[in-house]
């Protein structure tokens, strides 16, 4: 007769490691899935989309860096390096990565409080957090962040971006704007008399041109009423408008503002006068000053960067999935539905792979003088609508920026900061969900309180505090809502001495008061003329029991034992049954007192009451 041999400790440890490794997300970039069936037609579409997005990203990359308190080349280096890595390693076919407006306030605050070296370290730390989030398959958990927190946070950041651009928008003589909301308001008030009319004119003209370009030209070339209203225009004008609408309005506004400033020699601050221009060289590797003592102060800023980067990138990827799915098949290359250009459910983004790619990009970019990077909604949508079918488009976008930076860097010295401020005003307005404020009355009080609290704290306090308070408020709201859905009701039956209750919902730490109320009524009934001899609990409609709920049931069981009351449990199944077994609740009851349904439980209760 053979006996089982003990497993060696080394083999046990190996199997445990293998189990852990099997539970991790595989590192498989979306680029690898696009290579089979990739054709020259697909490559041509990707190159066209990449060139378009590269032109769109050029002014935004510089503007985001300057608004964050960094030199313009920091934004360009980030758009090139992080943009290439996010596309090459990411989990989306059309996602474009790079510096984003949502990071402006956070980066500026870290830079003011901790310095440039610690900003780079915090960025690397956030990259490690993002990579681990993806590796341990936490990408789907980011979707559970309540929309009220996301909207309040985004709208608050949009307000802060607008506020930070007022200095350059108005051309004020303010060398080092403070980071705090009230401090900025006071600094702007004290320097309001130094408004530069030339800078204000350039900023207003840039803002107006970008808005008209975005909303006016599409109306001229769209179908429906807009076309009917413009029939008085000649066909040549309509044809020219359709061609112009392809050109990014930000580039047109930036070029015109630069030419006007240079031709008229306007007294306006430019990239050259403020930063000395942009280097026409490749970024070089540099190791930031590192101190273990300072790392502990960077944990929360790094976590804020990682959390916001995860939210932005996955939200952007979801929007990109929708845009790709809505693209009409007409005009697509032959075989696009079978190759790299399809938009079926299997081509939706991989959130875990996307987070790992974002993590790698944020780990690598700071060593080349870059800033935090994430998915960018405006550039991603532009990429998808321009016909991109694979991550190659994003890689082309990065190479386009690199080529422009190496060739046209001297021309960037003449770009007025007021024009970049006007562009950022439009970007900030577009990133905000302003209609949600008008619709607040349609929502319940907890939603309104959460959104307004996160928005207010983001603007007047601190972004990290806003995230913390928003998540806590969301958790408390969730607990309240779930506890309000958990209820109990008495089950009428004619047998004296029998008390029956039916429970609904989830029995967790926020709803244990239901069991406590039953225990209290049981004690009160014990002093009445008709003493309760049997307590029946129907748990068929109970979906979940946590450890606190199981402990409360154990307390009720002990209370029944002290008072000589028989406890009968009915309808336990799935998770509640498993929790009851692990908590020892079933072991303390006779097997006959555990019944499959309420009818059987009441029969058992009547038998016990009759026997007593």
Burial 475-508 (b: 16+ CB within 10 A, else e): eebeeeeebeebebeebeeebebbbbbbbbbbbb
Q: Is the pLDDT of residue 11 over 50?
A: yes
Mark which of 387, 409, 431 sits at the end of a domain.
Answer: 431
* Range list of H helices, 171-297: 181-190, 197-221, 225-229, 235-244, 249-264, 271-275, 292-295
Token reading at 438: 């008008």
> Tell me: the pLDDT tens digits for 112-156?
888 888 999 999 999 999 999 999 988 877 767 788 887 888 788
324 vs 388 pLDDT, higher one: 388
> Average pLDDT in the 242-255 region?
71
Q: Which pLDDT score is estimated for 226? A: 44
Mark which of 431, 446, 468 sits at the end of a domain.
Answer: 431
Q: Is residue 356 part of a domain?
A: yes
Same domain, 418 and 566: no
Q: Is residue 3 part of a domain?
A: no
487 vs 465 pLDDT, higher one: 487
Same domain, 524 and 388: no
33 vs 247 pLDDT, higher one: 33
Nearest to 249 by CA among 49, 56, 424: 56
Count how many residues are written for the chain. 612
Q: Is residue 267 part of a domain?
A: yes
CA distance 316 to 311: 8
Q: Do residues 381 and 319 lie in contact, with contact meaning Cβ atoms separated by under 8 Å?
A: yes
> Tell me: the pLDDT tens digits for 144-161?
778 888 788 878 888 988
CA distance 294 to 302: 12
Q: Is the pLDDT of residue 230 over 60?
A: no
Q: Is the pLDDT of residue 74 over 50?
A: yes
* Domain harbouring 517, CATH code: 3.30.750.24
Q: Is residue 454 part of a domain?
A: no
pLDDT band, very low/low/confident/very high, at 341 (cuts 50, 70, 90): very low
Q: Is the pLDDT of residue 339 over 80?
A: no
Same domain, 254 and 325: yes
Same domain, 500 and 403: no
Mark which of 431, 456, 477 sits at the end of a domain.
Answer: 431
Q: Mean pLDDT: which of 33-42, 82-91, 172-181, 578-587 is highest?
A: 82-91
Same domain, 176 and 262: yes
Same domain, 374 and 515: no
Q: Is residue 466 part of a domain?
A: no
Instruction: Provide the 8-state DSSP code for 327.
Output: S
Q: Do residues 412 and 271 lie in contact, with contact meaning Cβ atoms separated by under 8 Å?
A: yes
Q: Is the pLDDT of residue 18 over 70?
A: no
φ, ψ for residue 277 (rounded to 5)?
Answer: 95, -170
Q: Is the pLDDT of residue 531 over 80?
A: no
Token reading at 37: 């069936």
Report the DSSP pairing between strands 498-507 and 487-490. antiparallel
Same domain, 226 and 299: yes
Number of domains in the chain: 2
The parent domain of residue 122 ranges over 37-431
Contacts of residue 444, defined as CB under 8 A and 6 or more positions apart, other chains included, come to: none
Q: Is residue 545 part of a domain?
A: yes
Burial 329-344 (b: 16+ CB within 10 A, else e): eeebbeebeebbbbbe
Same domain, 201 and 325: yes
Same domain, 419 and 519: no
Q: Do residues 379 and 60 lie in contact, with contact meaning Cβ atoms separated by under 8 Å?
A: yes
Same domain, 425 and 499: no
Print the SS3 string covering 505-536: EEECCCCCHHHHHHHHHHHHHHCCCCCCCEEE
Q: Is residue 480 part of a domain?
A: no
Same domain, 81 and 230: yes
Same domain, 260 and 356: yes
Q: Is the pLDDT of residue 525 over 70?
A: no
Q: Is the pLDDT of residue 336 over 50?
A: no
């Amino acid at each position: 007769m053979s006996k089982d041999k003990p497993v060696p400790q080394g083999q046990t440890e190996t199997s445990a490691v293998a189990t852990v490794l099997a539970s991790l997300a595989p590192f498989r970039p979306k680029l690898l899935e696009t290579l089979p069936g990739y054709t020259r037609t697909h490559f041509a579409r990707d190159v066209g989309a990449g060139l378009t997005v590269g032109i769109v990203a050029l002014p935004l990359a510089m503007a985001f860096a300057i608004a964050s308190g960094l030199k313009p080349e920091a934004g360009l280096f980030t758009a090139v390096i992080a943009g290439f890595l996010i596309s090459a390693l990411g989990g989306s076919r059309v996602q474009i990565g790079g510096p984003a407006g949502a990071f402006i306030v956070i980066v500026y605050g870290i830079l003011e409080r901790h310095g440039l070296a610690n900003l780079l370290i915090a960025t690397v730390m956030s990259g490690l957090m993002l990579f681990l989030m993806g590796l341990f398959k936490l990408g789907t958990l980011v979707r559970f962040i309540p929309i009220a927190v996301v909207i309040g946070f985004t709208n608050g950041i949009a307000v802060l971006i607008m506020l930070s651009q007022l200095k350059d928008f108005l051309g004020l003589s303010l060398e080092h704007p403070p980071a705090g909301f009230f401090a900025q308001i006071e600094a702007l008030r004290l320097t309001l008399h130094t408004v530069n009319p030339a800078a204000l004119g350039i900023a207003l003209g840039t803002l107006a041109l970008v808005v008209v370009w975005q909303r006016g030209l599409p109306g001229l070339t769209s179908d429906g009423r807009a076309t009917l209203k413009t029939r008085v225009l000649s066909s040549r004008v309509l044809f020219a408008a359709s061609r112009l609408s392809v050109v990014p309005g930000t580039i047109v506004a930036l070029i015109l503002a630069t030419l006007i400033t240079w031709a008229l020699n306007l007294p306006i601050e430019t990239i050259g006068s403020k930063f000395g221009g942009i280097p026409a060289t490749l970024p070089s590797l540099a190791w930031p000053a590192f101190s273990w003592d300072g790392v502990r102060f960077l944990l929360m800023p790094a976590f804020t960067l990682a959390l916001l980067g995860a939210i932005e990138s996955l939200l952007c990827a979801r929007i990109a999935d929708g845009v790709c799915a809505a693209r009409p098949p007409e005009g697509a290359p032959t075989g696009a539905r079978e190759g790299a250009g399809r938009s079926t459910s299997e081509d939706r983004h991989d959130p875990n792979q996307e987070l790992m790619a974002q993590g790698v990009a944020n780990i690598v970019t700071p060593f080349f003088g870059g800033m935090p990077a994430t998915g960018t909604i405006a550039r991603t949508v532009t990429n998808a609508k321009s016909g991109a079918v694979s991550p190659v488009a994003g890689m082309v976008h990065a190479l386009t920026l690199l080529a422009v930076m190496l060739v046209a860097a001297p021309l960037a010295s003449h770009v007025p900061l007021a024009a970049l401020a006007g562009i950022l005003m439009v970007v900030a307005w577009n990133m905000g969900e302003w209609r949600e404020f008008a619709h607040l009355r349609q929502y319940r009080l907890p939603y309104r309180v959460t959104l307004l609290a996160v928005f207010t704290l983001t603007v007047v306090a601190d972004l990290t505090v806003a995230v913390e308070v928003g998540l806590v408020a969301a958790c408390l709201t969730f607990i309240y809502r779930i506890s309000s859905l958990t209820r109990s009701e008495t089950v009428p039956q004619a047998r004296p001495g029998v008390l029956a209750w039916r429970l609904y919902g989830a029995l967790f730490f926020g709803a244990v008061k239901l069991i406590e109320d039953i225990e209290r009524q049981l004690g009160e009934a014990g002093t009445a003329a008709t003493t309760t001899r049997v307590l029946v609990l129907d748990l068929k409609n109970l979906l979940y029991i946590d450890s606190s709920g199981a402990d409360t049931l154990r307390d009720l069981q002990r209370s029944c034992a002290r008072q000589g009351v028989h406890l009968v449990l009915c309808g336990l199944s799935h998770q509640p049954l498993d929790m009851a077994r692990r908590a020892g609740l079933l072991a303390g009851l006779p097997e006959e007192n555990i019944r499959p349904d309420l009818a059987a439980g009441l029969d058992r209760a009547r038998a016990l009451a009759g026997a007593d």
